[in-house]
Amino acid sequence: MPIVYQIERGWSEGIGGLSFLGILVGIVISAITVFPIYFSYKKQSLATTGRLAPEARLPPAFIGAVALPVGLFWFAWTNSPSIHWMASIAAGVPIGYGMIMVFLPILNYLIDAYTIFAASVLAANASLRSLFGAAFPLFTTYMYQNLGIHWATTLIAFLALACMPMPFIFYKYGPAIRSRCRYAAESDAFMNVLYERSSQTPTVETKSNGDENHNTGSD
């Protein structure tokens, strides 16, 4: 984002860094939004006798998946020097909000879907993100110089738009997809057995206590 203002508006690196303020506002809004989402999920979990499906983590990502490409398209076509800089920086709000509201539900979904393999899944996820983070700066400057500030960002926006249906797809077809994955299926079977054992334990204890009370009364 700062490169746009440095190339077209002549901002210095220090002042260009202030363009992240819009994204910061979006992240703060998403952080506030997380609290009611957490309590809603907790309430839903307590009301369920069995295990909640991992897909229950995904609905918050629906809004984020829409907000992210909206913010990118907004930024792509308002970052011209002929338009006030506040218009493009304001586009950072849905971008920052969308990034967090997609990232956190997906991360929780991976943990719930793979449970006993969660550490490996999170490590793979972090490694992949790090590779992308290392690769993109190598060509981003050339991309903006060759495509221009409008179409370079639009290209990224189209990539986000292509990924937008993914939370919806996994919410609907997630169980079928997970059943075809060896590790997700093994994790799901393990958690189901664990929940069955935990639900049976109180019954056994209650029966034992009842037998002890009966024997005490007979004595």
**Cα 79 to chain centroid, rounded:** 27
pLDDT value for 209: 54
For residue 29, name the pLDDT band (cuts at 50, 70, 90).
Answer: very high
- Identify residue 190 by its one-letter amino acid code: F
pLDDT digits (tens, 9 = 90+) for 164-218: 999 999 999 999 999 999 999 999 888 888 878 877 755 444 455 555 555 555 5
Minimum mean pLDDT range among 5-14, 22-31, 100-109, 194-203: 194-203
pLDDT tens track for 87-115: 999 999 999 999 999 999 999 999 999 99
The secondary structure of the chain, three-state, reads CHHHHHHHCCCCHHHHHHHHHHHHHHHHHHHHHHHHHHHHHHHHHHHCCCCCCHHHHCHHHHHHHHHHHHHHHHHHCCCCCCCCHHHHHHCHHHHHHHHHHHHHHHHHHHHHHHHHHHHHHHHHHHHHHHHHHHHHHHHHHHHHHHHHHHHHHHHHHHHHHHHCCHHHHHHHHHHHHHHCCHHHHHHHHHHHHHHHHHHHHHHHHHHHHHHHHHHHHHC
Q: Which structure tokens are listed for 157?
A: 């926006």
Segment 64-94, tens digit of pLDDT: 999 999 999 999 999 888 888 899 999 999 9
Count other Cβ atoms within 10 Å, centred on residue 117: 18
Structure tokens at 193: 């057995």
Of 21-25, 52-56, 77-81, 195-199, least confident by mean pLDDT is 195-199
| Distances in whole angstroms, Cα of residue 210 to Cα of each of 65, 96, 141, 205, 216 | 54, 57, 74, 9, 10
Q: What is the pTM of this model?
A: 0.83
